Structure 1
Amino acid sequence: MTITDFGWEDALSIVRASRSCANPNMGFQKQLQEFEKHDVDHFRQWLKEEYGENSLQDEQEAKILLGKYKEQAMMQPGPGGRQWNNNFSSLPSLSYNSYTTET
C-alpha cells in the first residue's frame, strides 16, 4: 500500500493473487483500513523523501496480479474467503513407520 497507490482492498487482492490462502482476520483488515485512511499518505511521502522514486516495477507488476486475481474471481463465483476443496491428491501418503521420535 505504501509503495503503490493501491488501497487496502486491492492490496489484499494482490496478496491473494500470489498467496490464495491469505485471509487476514477482521481486526487486521480494520487496521489496514485505518492505515489507508490516516497514515499511508504520510509514509508514501516519507519514503519518497528518504529514498527517492522507486526504480522497480512494483506497481506495474501489482496491476498485472490484480487483473489476474479479478479475472479468476469472475470465473469462480461463490462466497468469499477460504474454500475447502478436499483435494489431497498431490500429497504423498506417509506410513506410520516414517515418523520418528528423534529431534
Structure 2
Amino acid sequence: MTITDFGWEDALSVVRAARSCANPNMGFQKQLQDFEKHDVDQFRQWLKEEYGENSSQDLQEAKNLLSKYKEQAELQQNTGGRQWNNNFSSVPSLSYSNYTTET
C-alpha cells in the first residue's frame, strides 16, 4: 500500500490476482482499513524522504495485476460465475530467486 499508493481493497485485489487463495481474515482486513485511514500517508511520506522515488517496477506490475483482476471480476459478474481463464500471461511472473530458505 505504501509503494503503490493503492487503498486496502486494491492492494488486496493485487495480492489475490497473484495468489488466488489469499483470503485474510476479517481482523487483518480491519487492520488494513485502519492503516489506510490513519497511517499510510505518513509511511508513504517517510519512505519518499528516506529513500527517494521508487525506481523498481513494482508499481507497474501491481497496476497490471490490478487491471487484470478487475477485468476478471467484471467478467465473473457479467457471466454469473467464476470464469478464470488464465489471462495473466501478459503479466511477467515474479522472481523468487532472490529468496532463500533457512533450515
Instruction: Give the TM-score normalised by structure 2.
Output: 0.72
Q: Structure 1 CA distance, aligned partners of 2:53 and 2:43?
A: 13
Shift of 1:57: 1.9
Shift of 1:79: 8.1
| 1:2-81 matched pairs, under 5 angstroms | 2-77=2-77
Shift of 1:54: 0.4
Q: Structure 2 CA distance, aligned partners of 1:12 and 1:61?
A: 14
Q: Structure 2 CA distance, aligned partners of 1:62 and 1:19?
A: 13
Q: Structure 2 CA distance, aligned partners of 1:67 and 1:3?
A: 17
Structure 1: gaps spanning 5 or more residues:
81-103
Aligned length: 80
Q: Structure 2 CA distance, aligned partners of 1:25 and 1:34?
A: 15
CA RMSD between the two structures = 1.7
Matched residue, 2:95:
none
- Structure of higher RCO (CA pairs closer than 8 Å, 6+ residues apart): 1
Shift of 1:76: 2.0
Aligned-residue identity in percent: 84
Q: Structure 2 CA distance, aligned partners of 1:3 and 1:37?
A: 16
Cα separation, partners in 2 of 1:57 and 1:39, compared to 1, 3 Å? same
